[in-house]
Amino acid sequence: MAEPTTPISDPYAYLNIVKNPDGSITRDLTNFPCATATPDPSPENPAVSKDLPVNHSKSTWLRLYLPSSAVTDSISSQKLPIVVYYHGGGFILCSVDMQPFHDFCSEMARDLNAIVVSPSYRLAPEHRLPAAYGDGVEALEWIKTSDDEWIKSHADFSNVFLMGTSAGGNLAYNVGLRSADSVSELSPLQIRGLILHHPFFGGEERSGSEIRLVNDQVCPPIVTDVMWDLSLPVGADRDHEYSNPTVGDGSDDLEKIGGLRWKVMMIGGEDDPMIDRQIDVAKLMKKKGVEVVEQYTDGDAHGAEIRDPCKRKTLFVSIKNFISSLL
């Protein structure tokens, strides 16, 4: 019989952060090894990658991934779909170049045969929401106007997908809402769908899954409460539209997403305390006329495929089928 797990009692210690008197936080990144970009094709690298600046004044940048096969096959002129991938970290932690996110994006570029663009965004509490959403939209502007050779030679601007894990999934959702309201400004980029991988949503009243999984060892409510407290606008509670999209019957921009025929893939794990919220957001989107494909996996905790490389192949097959259905 498995030993009972000890509930997480100090979320700040669990997250390795210290809150400073000025409202900022000090992050201990010892447990977050980073990976350098891999610009040269080699058998060890599923994809080539490179780092490019987005906005110098905000210190934002992105990592661009291209399947190694696209580099080594000089004859092929095939244009590849673009997956814009926003990393997770509760809006307060992590970065594009963290080893698990780098490996995830490299393998995804190879398995989907797609260009993956992974933009950085400013973190809270130093830059509270909606700062990250603005950075997410700005990354789309960068792609649209880029003169990068990989983008010019290989990117199919008519097939763009917004994707993210955890806070990145929330970011992809909110960038999607903003983009639906300004489609003409993004031209020639054409968003075809959103891929929300274990998206980070919250609310004041505990959901059934948050109660059931109150002592979850990966992302329990006591930890996500702190993340929302540090990332939402000052004075806002967890029923703010950024954290709880179902409040007030949701955003009117969801109907625009439905009208644009964008399709949404909602991916979750049954052992994630946020699973009920993800199901509720999917239900809201369908009510607003958005076509939603839902995939919830038994036994998967929050962000399972980021932490366990063995789970990625199955995920990428599902995502590839989703993308193929829209091409």
Which tens digits make up the pLDDT trace of 98-117?
Answer: 999 999 999 999 999 999 99
Q: What is the pLDDT of residue 76?
A: 64
Rg of the chain's alpha carbons, rounded to an integer?
Answer: 19
Judge contact between 316 and 103, C-beta under 8 A: no
Report, as ranges of residue numbers, the positions in the chain whose pLDDT lies below 50: 1-3
Helix, strand, coil share of the chain (percent; to 5):
40, 20, 40
Report which of 88, 180, 75, 171 is spatially closest to residue 132, judged by C-alpha positions: 171
Give the CA dihedral 138, 144, 149, 151, nearest 10 degrees.
Answer: 90
Judge contact between 132 and 122, C-beta under 8 A: yes
Active site residue 87: no
Token pair belonging to 315 = 């995920």
106: left (phi over 0), alpha (psi -120 to 50) or beta: alpha
Active site residue 166: yes
Q: Using the 8-state DSSP alphabet, how is residue 58 labeled?
A: G
3-state secondary structure of 81: strand
Say which of 87, 197, 198, 302 is annotated catalytic: 302
Q: What is the pLDDT of residue 123?
A: 98
pTM exceeding 0.95: yes
Taking the C-alpha atoms of residue 192 and residue 199, their distance in angstroms, rounded to an integer, is: 19
Q: What is the pLDDT of residue 74?
A: 62
Q: What is the pLDDT of residue 305?
A: 97
Q: What is the pLDDT of residue 1?
A: 39
Tell me how crowded residue 235 is: count the other CB atoms within 10 A of its CB: 6
Would you call 218 exposed, middle or buried from its count of C-beta atoms within 10 A (0-12, 13-18, 19+)?
middle
User: pLDDT for 117-134, tens place per residue?
Assistant: 999 999 999 999 999 999
Q: What is the pLDDT of residue 101?
A: 98
Active site residue 272: yes
Judge contact between 238 and 225, C-beta under 8 A: yes
Q: What is the pLDDT of residue 3?
A: 46
Say which of 68, 95, 118, 166 is annotated catalytic: 166
Say which of 97, 272, 276, 300 is annotated catalytic: 272
Q: What is the pLDDT of residue 48?
A: 97
Q: What is the pLDDT of residue 6?
A: 86
